[in-house]
Amino acid sequence: MMKKLLLMLSFFLIASYSWAQDRTVSGTVTDEEGPLPGVNVIVKGTTTGTTTDLDGNYKLSIPSDAEALVFTYIGYEKTEIIIGTRSVIDVTLQPDVQQLGEVVVTALGIERDQKSLGYSVQEVSGESLSEAKEQNVINSLSGKVAGVQVRSSNTMGGSANILIRGTNTLAGNNQPLFVVDGVPIDNSSYNSANQEAGGGGYDYGNPAADLNPEDIESMSVLKGGSAAALYGSRALNGVILITTKKGSKGKGVGVSVNSSVTFSKINQNTMPQHQKEYGAGYGNYWTYADLDGDGNDEQIVNTADDASWGPKFDPNLEVVHWDALFPGEDNYGETRPWVAGEAGIEEFFETGVSMRNNVSINGGTEKATYRLSYTNEDTKGIAPNSSMKSNTVALNASLEATDKLKISTSVNYVGNEVIGRQGTGYAGTNVMQSFGQWFQSNLDFNRLKNYKDEAGNQRAWNLAGASNPRGYYFNNPYWVVNENFQSDGRDRVFGNVFLEYQLFDGVKLNGRSTIDFYNFGQEERVNVGSAITDVPSYVRREYTFMERNDDFFVTIDKYLNDNFSISGLIGVNRRTTTNSSLQLGTFRGMVNKDVFAISNTISPEVNYTDDFSEKAQRSAYGNVSFGFNDMVFLDLTARNDWSSTLPEGANSYFYPSVSTSFIFTELEGLRNSDILSFGKLRANWSRVGNDTDPYRTRNYFEAENSFGSSPVYRYGTTLNNPALKSETKEGIEFGTELLFFNRRIGLNASVYKDNTYDQIIPVKTSTSTGYNFQYINAGNFENKGIEIALNATPVDGDFRWDMNVNWAKNVNTVVELAEGIDNYTITSFFFASINATEGEPFGTIRGTNFQYKDGEKVINSDGYYAIDDSIQTIGNATPDWNLGFSNTFSYKGFSLRTLFDMQMGGDIFSLNTAFGRATGLYEETAGLNAKGNPKRDPVAEGGGILLEGVQEDGSENTVYAPAGTWGQAWQYGSNNPAANYVFDATYIKLRELAFGYKFPQSFLGDLPIKNLEFNVVGRNLAILHSNVKHFDPEVTRSSGNAQGYESGTYPTPRTYGFNVKFNF
């Protein structure tokens, strides 16, 4: 008996000891939608813990004295559960409405709770980007993110120039890095140097425009160095991080359809405004010739003159016009009244139509997700013979292969075909160069449409003479767009494969391989029969780009206990980039008309260039983030790059960053405040390095055309530098994020200062060295500014009003250039140049100026301006500040959204205005003067114009200047300084307008349709304020650093249309 009692006692003691030592608790963590993977489960007061698996399950051994479990997950309330005697504890987590409330995607695609970030990140939803149906998704960012400035071209498929927090480098690329689902996307410019300088060419747009807005879920803008440091040197200008739409688990198969039709009409306020009082000529005279052989000369329009200083219109006067000067035509020698053209340049532009159709199939099982999307877009441009077609296929798929291994992939194909991009700048391929600078106000566009005869010969308005029916300087604009057109096409594939393996709780191994590949072909034509000054030609170009990135990194995300957390990563990257180009063209003309082939060249030689470059970079990087009590966070990052473009043995550069955030509303006394719902302070410091393009550290021979049978090689004209080192950008940022009145009002504010130094720039050198330029490290650019993003919900309920304001002011200063250099010219064309000038903001406009006396312009005794011929700063392209203001009103199924976009300050030089006034084309050169007399009458007869200013003695100017012909008051150069064509680029625009209705499901009844929406959309509908005439102050010719120079720009299209979307 005693033995039995002792045995039973021993059993209970052992059992009690075992229970006291350890026991197991398990369960499932969910939210309202289902299981939550990756939830941290910690035994309160210890470092013992685990994370939930892909199905939200957990299992944890706990000590005997464990009292509670703490469950934490990004975006959800921390939940504490008493254990008691339970062995199964299931938990449903609730969203944390007191947090900043958002999970954002940060560097390398890592999701972070926004409240933990010590730097500025702003996110834009995919719906906001696609709603207005802008062709180039980059343009859709305008006015939606504080600190982001977008300038767009008005040409079909043209460039968007995007800057984040100003210009950082003098001669390098200042565009941000685009990353799509972890894939760095190339956004190189393929515009020629001549095109970017304003000398003519085509704007081939941004390769980033290949991104399909219908596939974008969200876009995060990483602004500062700390935010972007893990992406390496290309992130020096910030990062646009794009997450695409994906399938959903366990929801079966769904089909989404999204179709839109938009129409484009030019805003006539943004095109040259012609006077309608005087016609062709450089003065008040006619051309005379005997056309019918009767011995009497006919009175003929001055067709060889590309100006409008000619005789005053008189409907009772019959004259021979340009289209009656082609022998053999029925109307040869016919006369018509001398009047202004009935159909002006607005008649040239057509109604553009764009149709975009997207179909996507998405769904998933408990272990896999997928989304397959196809988008077709077909666009007819606003100019004749202009069209764009694109086809996009996107696949996103993921698979939980095992409980520990997850595989995902993203594959995108984009195919584009373009016909008839508009020419730009000062060139005959740009019809706006003629319309805005050298034209005749008597021309009728309905007659110009008949641009060639039955034999295919051009009927040009700018005939060399009455007996020489061939274009002199300018072609018929319809000949330009139908005969001298260009075409291009790009096929692109980009995507990634990503593997994630959970090594153990909170630790994952990650591998990602990405590729971006495209082939881009271009063709440009000038047909036989073009103007005398045009050499017929045909040019073909082929560009091939490929970049591959391979990353391997380890991530950790653990709670050390219920108060301390640690997360981070450490990894390596291998990047290889190759570029090749080939150009072939006819030489000295073409033999046969309409035969666009290299073999049609007149000369036995052809224009030929061939280029290939390769760049390799190896990197190691790391990040660690510490959190205390969900209140204080500290982030440390470091990256080291080894670049093939820097000198061997000195090609390594290291850059770190540190950031911190403090959630002060977690302090006792501030928690659960009725006024301040959330409050955060943040600060960061960063250093980012940057390399250069290939082959700048050694000099190489370049091949030229052979001499007979002997090959010819020469050194280039730029001296490369074997001692180049990396550029460096160093920055500091402070900010705050505040939410008031239960999140009804939110404020996100930042102040920052960045300096970029040791820039790699080509500077002029003595030609006695055999070179024109040499590469050096020099320069220091400073950007400092303030950004404010304000959101509010003034009204909430059945009727809801949401408001967002984004305001940013960036002050850029060129602190230092190179030794002995105080001004660096970015581009120079005709009367003005764009520059970097020491002590001034980047983008100074330099040229001749007015002479001033006590702040007033000085007028000479002849009534003309007194000109200071010294080259000086006369303006700056950098704006004072930018503002975006949006409102969304919703009532039940109805919604109305508006976006206003504003720029204050900044200047732009207008070559159109200089020439358009000098040729008597613009409306201000005609009409009545202050005396009520025609401006073009002689001064002695009461004509002329009175320029504002003072005479040399300081008295008010009372002298009228002659203004009746070429070379007088409106003449550029001799009588007007370049400063007279610099204008304030301030504007206020109604950027977007969208009105929609979401039909209730009850309306659809038994139809197999869900979420039916109908929207009416518009973009660039109105310019509410502008200080310029004849053009849009926002316009740009190209992406790149040469901004603030307008020449031959196209009018801005107003876009409006409708959109229907629904699901099956």
Output the DSSP codes for 82-120.
E-TT-SB--EE--B-TTS---EEE-GGG-EEEGGG-SS-
Tokens of 981: 């064509």
pLDDT for the residue 1: 41
First-to-last alpha carbon distance for the chain, in angstroms, is 77
Which residues lie across from 781 on neighbouring strands? 756, 814
Tokens of 924: 């201000």
Name every residue whose Cβ is closer than 8 Å to that of residue 389 and which is 6 or more positions away in sequence: 376, 377, 378, 379, 416, 417, 418
Whether residue 177 has pLDDT greater than 70: yes
pLDDT for the residue 155: 92
Are 88 and 201 found together in one domain? no
Q: Which strands sit side by side in the sheet containing 856-859, from one edge to the other?
A: 852-853, 856-859, 950-951
Number of separate domains in the chain = 2
The answer as to whether 402 is a domain residue is yes
Q: Is-contact 206 1039, C-beta < 8 A? A: yes
Quote the CA–CA distance of 28 and 91 in Å, as a whole number.
6
Q: Is-contact 59 26, C-beta < 8 A? A: yes
Domain end call among 92, 122, 152: 92
Q: Is-contact 481 386, C-beta < 8 A? A: yes
The answer as to whether 157 is a domain residue is no
Q: Is-contact 166 752, C-beta < 8 A? A: no
Model confidence over 885-915: pLDDT tens digits?
Answer: 999 999 999 999 999 999 999 999 999 999 9
**Sign of torsion, CA 426 431 435 438?**
positive
Whether residue 227 has pLDDT greater than 70: yes
pLDDT for the residue 97: 57
Model confidence over 156-171: pLDDT tens digits?
Answer: 999 999 999 999 999 8
| 563/358: higher pLDDT | 358
Tokens of 181: 């689902």
Tokens of 690: 């940057």
Quote the CA–CA distance of 757 and 169 in Å, as a whole number.
8
pLDDT for the residue 349: 97
Window from 43-52, 565-574, 651-660, 673-682 with minimum mean pLDDT: 43-52
The answer as to whether 450 is a domain residue is no
Overall average pLDDT of the 938-944 stretch: 97
Model confidence over 683-710: pLDDT tens digits?
Answer: 999 999 999 999 999 998 887 777 777 8
To which residue do tokens 């046969």 refer?
Answer: 592
Quote the CA–CA distance of 812 and 168 in Å, as a whole number.
9
Which residues lie across from 376 on neighbouring strands? 357, 391
DSSP state of 209: G
Tokens of 1047: 């020449």
Whether residue 19 has pLDDT greater than 60: no
- How far, CA to CA in Å, does 434 sit from each of 125, 178, 300, 681, 912? 42, 37, 21, 56, 9
Residue 55 pLDDT level (bands cut at 50, 70, 90)? confident
Whether residue 7 has pLDDT greater than 50: no
Residue 98 pLDDT level (bands cut at 50, 70, 90)? low
- In degrees rounded to 5, what are phi and psi of residue 455? -85, -5
Tell me the HSE value of 811 on the side-chain side, using a 13 A CA sphere. 8
Q: Is-contact 781 812, C-beta < 8 A? A: yes
Quote the CA–CA distance of 369 and 659 in Å, as a whole number.
35
Q: Following CA atoms 743, 751, 107, 71 in sequence, which dihedral angle do they give, to the nearest 10 degrees?
A: -40
Indicate the burial class of 1011 (C-beta count within 10 angstroms; 0-12, 13-18, 19 or more).
middle
- In degrees rounded to 5, what are phi and psi of residue 429? -75, -10
pLDDT for the residue 953: 93
pLDDT for the residue 114: 79
pLDDT for the residue 4: 40
The answer as to whether 397 is a domain residue is yes
Whether residue 75 has pLDDT greater than 60: yes
Domain end call among 58, 92, 126: 92
Query: Domain limits at 55?
Result: 21-92
- In degrees rounded to 5, what are phi and psi of residue 5? -65, -45
Domain end call among 92, 112, 128: 92
Output the DSSP codes for 443-461.
--HHHHT--B-TTS-B--S
Which residues lie across from 625 on neighbouring strands? 567, 635
Instruction: Report the percentage of the chain scoring pLDDT > 70.
Output: 97
CATH number at residue 503: 2.40.170.20
Q: Following CA atoms 1028, 1032, 1037, 1041 in sequence, which dihedral angle do they give, to the nearest 10 degrees?
A: 60
Model confidence over 768-785: pLDDT tens digits?
Answer: 888 999 999 999 999 999
**Sign of torsion, CA 61 64 66 68?**
positive
Whether residue 283 has pLDDT greater than 80: yes
Tokens of 394: 């996107």
Overall average pLDDT of the 581-594 stretch: 95
- How far, CA to CA in Å, does 352 sit from each of 96, 172, 560, 638, 1056? 48, 35, 61, 50, 10
Q: Is-contact 382 422, C-beta < 8 A? A: no
Nearest 5 degrees, angle CA 1041-CA 1043-CA 1049?
Answer: 135
CATH number at residue 54: 2.60.40.1120
The answer as to whether 595 is a domain residue is yes
Model confidence over 443-502: pLDDT tens digits?
Answer: 999 999 999 999 999 999 999 998 888 999 999 999 999 999 999 999 999 999 999 999
**Sign of torsion, CA 130 153 171 486?**
positive
DSSP state of 1052: P
Q: Is-contact 134 142, C-beta < 8 A? A: no
pLDDT for the residue 756: 95
Q: Is-contact 421 209, C-beta < 8 A? A: no
Are 884 and 1012 found together in one domain? yes
Model confidence over 317-351: pLDDT tens digits?
Answer: 999 999 999 998 999 999 999 999 999 999 999 99
Mean residue pLDDT of the chain comes to: 91
The answer as to whether 110 is a domain residue is no
Residue 327: CB atoms within 10 A of its CB come to 9
Whether residue 625 has pLDDT greater than 90: yes
Whether residue 6 has pLDDT greater than 70: no
Longest alpha-carbon distance in the chain: 152
The answer as to whether 973 is a domain residue is no
- In degrees rounded to 5, what are phi and psi of residue 324? -110, 25
Of 853, 831, 858, 833, the closest CA to residue 844 belongs to 833
State the DSSP H helix or E strand holding residue 432, giving kind and residue range, or none if neither.
helix 431-437
Are 760 and 893 found together in one domain? yes
pTM (2 d.p.) = 0.89
Which residues lie across from 368 on neighbouring strands? 399
The answer as to whether 304 is a domain residue is no
Strands (E), 440-533: 463-465, 468-471, 486-504, 507-526
pLDDT for the residue 20: 40
